[in-house]
A and B are shown apart, each in its own frame.
Chain A
Amino acid sequence: MANIKELSKIPERLTSGHRLCSGCGASIAVRQVLMGTTSPVVTAAATGCLEVATTIYPYTAWAVPFIHNAFENVAATISGAETAYRALKKKGKITKDIKFVAFGGDGGTYDIGLQSLSGALERGHNFVYVCYDNEAYMNTGIQRSGATPTGASTTTAPAGKVSYGKPQIRKDLTAIVAAHHIPYAAQGCISHWNDLVTKSQKAFAIEGPAFLNVFSPCHRGWRYPQSDTIKIAKLAVETGFWPLIEFENGKWSFTYRPKERKPVVEFLKTQGRFKHLFKEENKPVLGRIQKDIDTHWNYLEKLTQATSA
């Protein structure tokens, strides 16, 4: 468990003056994740809102070393940096204990950067990979990604007369990552900061690759008032839309279980990207989304039971 008063004494690693939208979830995710360690960190970020808006030349909002990357190779870059660090440490040229962390959006993680992430996990580098999941390519203007949920309207899966938005379900990236049998993978959410910081502390402490999938709402892409970022993130957890689970040494477990799961419409109705689902002709889609969430929740329940023994 993290103590907020203690955390407030850690110097900020991401300074003010970056140009992310006001009310952006990504910078909240970065701040909370970096509270998980007091060691020096080396960061890198895949192309995305975070990378573009925090490092507009000649400024940088990072108070820690930061490596600029292309879209698909942040995991490869950070594994290279980590390998160089290990070599230098062996030769005695570095004595400090340094942590390595890579940030990617859902586009740079679920889709474009998946191969480099998979490679880095398989090679077993000692690093933390953080995906800030805002469920579409927000930087280029809200195109659908592998993380976009069913029914969301995006510019490449627009809702209209013949379509209700994205018809497919999103991929379960945390499970894909866990299938690499790495020591630690977890899903966090910026509204549950204590849960997320605790997970981040675990991820940084563990030897070997660790992965955090952090739910971070985007008010431009999701169409909601900018002050509601945390409220909506909380609803995603309370409705079971984003379960807070972790995978540690082969065991799955829930780190937070809502007392009673709210119906998913509570979450969907807060956002403009799902507005069309409430029209009469799209009512069956709402039912399908709820059913998908229930099925996934039951699957997770069984998974946690099966691996807890």
Chain B
Amino acid sequence: MAKKGWKDIPIGGLIEEAGTAKEYKTGSWRTFRPVIDKAKCINCLQCWMHCPDSCIKVKDSKMEGFDYDYCKGCGICASVCPVKCIKMKPDVKQ
């Protein structure tokens, strides 16, 4: 985001657009990344329900994977998964 002068900022510091935090990628906070074994997944969506960062992609009521741009790697998804198909692996460069 480009820096703004005082004339460019709306009165009262209003943020005129909704949901702009999407421009701030929190994925770099992560030390462990969740990895899913889709073969075992039963699409119960417990991971989606309990993700603090809204990082579980769901399409047509099916679990589609993780949004690694924002996932902070807390591991809640792996801990709530009833069939244990999500594993936390060290997030290292391949």
Chain A residues at the B interface, C-beta cutoff of 8 Å = 4-5, 7-9, 12, 14-28, 31-32, 54-65, 190, 193, 225-231
CA A55 to CA B54, docked complex, whole Å? 16
Whether A227 pairs with B78 at a CB distance below 8 angstroms is yes
Known A5-B61, A22-B72, A32-B49: A61·B29 in contact at CB below 8 Å: no
Q: Which of B4, B21, B76, B78 touches A61 (beta carbons < 8 Å)?
A: B21
Chain B residues at the A interface, C-beta cutoff of 8 Å = 1, 4, 13, 15, 17-26, 29-30, 44-46, 48-55, 58, 61, 67, 69-70, 72-76, 78-80, 88
Whether A226 pairs with B25 at a CB distance below 8 angstroms is no
Chain A residues, Cβ within 8 Å of B67: 16
Q: Which of A12, A28, A64, A228 touches B79 (beta carbons < 8 Å)?
A: A228
Chain A residues, Cβ within 8 Å of B23: 17, 59
Most A Cβ at <10 Å: residue of B22, B46, B54, B73: B54
20 A-B residue pairs with Cβ-Cβ distance under 8 Å, sorted by A, are A7-B49, A8-B58, A12-B54, A16-B67, A18-B21, A18-B53, A20-B52, A22-B53, A22-B73, A26-B52, A27-B54, A28-B51, A28-B76, A56-B24, A58-B4, A190-B50, A193-B50, A226-B75, A227-B74, A231-B79
Q: State the Cβ distance, A12 to closest chain B Cβ, in Å.
A: 5
Q: From DSSP, what is the main secondary structure of chain B's interface residues? A: loop
Whether A60 pairs with B50 at a CB distance below 8 angstroms is no
Whether A4 pairs with B70 at a CB distance below 8 angstroms is no
Q: State the Cβ distance, B24 to closest chain A Cβ, in Å.
A: 5
Whether A22 pairs with B52 at a CB distance below 8 angstroms is yes
Q: How many pairs of residues, A versus B, come closer than 8 Å at their CB atoms?
A: 122
CA A62 to CA B74, docked complex, whole Å? 21
Q: From DSSP, what is the main secondary structure of chain A's interface residues? A: loop
Chain B residues, Cβ within 8 Å of A55: 15
Closest Cβ neighbor of A9 among chain B residues: B61
Closest Cβ neighbor of A22 among chain B residues: B72
Q: State the Cβ distance, B94 to closest chain A Cβ, in Å.
A: 22
Whether A23 pairs with B76 at a CB distance below 8 angstroms is yes
CA A151 to CA B53, docked complex, whole Å? 31
CA A143 to CA B7, docked complex, whole Å? 40
Known A16-B67, A16-B69, A17-B26: A60·B20 in contact at CB below 8 Å: yes
CA A191 to CA B73, docked complex, whole Å? 19
Most B Cβ at <10 Å: residue of A25, A54, A58, A225: A58
